[in-house]
């Protein structure tokens, strides 16, 4: 069965700091990988996705993620965070035509 693990439940950063959120999954076959963001009081929005091809994926708002197949990882990065990045971030995985499974989420708080 698929599962997703997000290493950090809460992260606190100052503006301009670099961000890396860890995500590992367990599934032996081909997977599709996603990062979603949920701003306070808002719905889930897709940040970026990986289906195939270049393992370094660029998303919206300056976010990027790298798929490392050998490590079953899909970590999210941003070189310099802003206060407006305060949100909850979810990593999600699915095998093609299978259900989308979410990690527990990471709450990011960015202080000015």
Partner 1 sequence: KAGVTQTPRYLIKTRGQQVTLSCSPISGHRSVSWYQQTPGQGLQFLFEYFSETQRNKGNFPGRFSGRQFSNSRSEMNVSTLELGDSALYLCASSFRSSEGADGYTFGSGTRLTVV
Residues that bind partner 1 (CB under 8 A): 32, 34, 36, 42-46, 49, 51-52, 90, 92, 94, 96-105
Q: Kindly tell me which of 43 and 112 has the beta carbon lying closer to partner 1.
A: 43
Least distance (Å) between residue 20 CB and partner 1: 21
Provide the token pair at 55: 């393992």
Residue 98 CB, nearest distance to partner 1 (Å)? 7
Asked whether the CA dihedral 72, 95, 98, 88 is positive or negative, the reply is positive
Which C-beta is closer to partner 1: that of 15 or that of 61? 61
Q: Is 74 helix (H, G, I), strand (E, B) or coil?
A: strand
d(CA 49, CA 109): 23
Q: What is the CA radius of gyration of the chain?
A: 13
For partner 1, which is the closer residue by CB, 96 or 112? Answer: 96
Greatest alpha-carbon span in the chain? 42
Nearest distance, CB of residue 5 and partner 1, angstroms: 12
């Amino acid at each position: 069965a698929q599962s997703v693990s997000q290493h950090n439940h809460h992260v606190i950063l100052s503006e301009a700091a670099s961000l890396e959120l860890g995500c590992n999954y367990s599934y032996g076959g081909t997977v599709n990988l996603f990062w979603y963001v949920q701003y306070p009081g808002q719905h889930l929005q897709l940040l970026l996705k990986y289906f195939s091809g270049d393992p370094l994926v660029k998303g919206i708002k300056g976010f990027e993620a790298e798929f490392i197949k050998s490590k079953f990882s899909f970590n999210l990065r941003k070189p310099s965070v802003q206060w407006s990045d305060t949100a909850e971030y979810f990593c999600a995985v699915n095998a093609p035509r299978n259900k989308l499974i979410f990690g527990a989420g990471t709450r990011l708080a960015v202080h000015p």
